[in-house]
Chain A
Amino acid sequence: DAGVIQSPRHEVTEMGQEVTLRCKPISGHDYLFWYRQTMMRGLELLIYFNNNVPIDDSGMPEDRFSAKMPNASFSTLKIQPSEPRDSAVYFCASSLGTEYNSPLHFGNGTRLTVT
């Protein structure tokens, strides 16, 4: 079990550029979550999917943020255009939701810096 895999580990980009973060959940997990971690706001849930379908995107800050899950093994979080205030660590997590007491498994995160 390779765990949740995120790429890239670090991303530095200039304001206005498009940023795409990637996540591969644990095989067989049917829930996928995107969290953002900052010093000011802590861990915030941005969006989560069940069986590739977005269930709750109320945490997505604004229209510049979008997330997709084209299949059970891949998800992307896109920011277009990026702004300095988007700088944060973005975590992807997955869980086996059929056992809804199962814990979340987190990836190593992507540290995004927007200059």
Chain B
Amino acid sequence: AQSVSQHNHHVILSEAASLELGCNYSYGGTVNLFWYVQYPGQHLQLLLKYFSGDPLVKGIKGFEAEFIKSKFSFNLRKPSVQWSDTAEYFCAVNAVKAAGNKLTFGGGTRVLVKP
């Protein structure tokens, strides 16, 4: 079974600072990788996804993530955060062979951006 580990539970930073959130997964086969974001009081929304091809994936709102297969990692980055990026971020994975996107989520990282 796959599992997903997010190293930081809470991150606090100031506006314009750079953000990097770690995500590692354990699964021996080919995977699809996702980052979801949950703004305060809202539902989860897809930020970006990786299926194949270029391991550097660009998503919405200036976020990007890099898939490093050898490290089983899919870290999320943003060069300069804004106050509106305050949210909880979830990394998720599913096995490519598993139809229907049965996702396994990491524990989430709460990001607080101070104005």
Contact = CB atoms under 8 A, between A and B. Distances in A.
B104 A97 contact: no
Chain A contact patch, size range: 20 to 34
A97 to B, nearest CB: 4
Contacts of A18: none
Contacts of A91: 43-44
Given A106-B44, A108-B42, A55 B100 contact: yes
Given A42-B107, A43-B108, A106 B101 contact: no
Nearest to B44: A106
Interface in B8-46: 32, 34, 36, 42-46
B83 interface: no
A14 interface: no
A106 B99 contact: no
B63 to A, nearest CB: 15
A103 interface: yes
B90 interface: yes
Contacts of A104: 44, 46, 101, 103
Contacts of A4: 43
Interface residues of B, number: 22
A101 interface: yes
Contacts of B51: 101
B61 interface: no
Given A95-B100, A97-B99, A101-B51, A106 B105 contact: no
B7 interface: no
B43 A106 contact: yes
Given A31-B100, A43-B90, A100-B100, A107 B105 contact: no
A-B pairs with lowest CB-CB distance, top 6: A97-B100, A43-B105, A42-B107, A31-B100, A106-B43, A106-B44
Interface of B: 32, 34, 36, 42-46, 49, 51, 90, 98-108
Given A101-B49, A103-B101, 16 more contacts: A31-B100, A33-B103, A42-B106, A43-B108, A50-B99, A50-B100, A93-B44, A95-B100, A95-B101, A97-B99, A100-B100, A101-B51, A103-B34, A106-B43, A108-B42, A108-B43
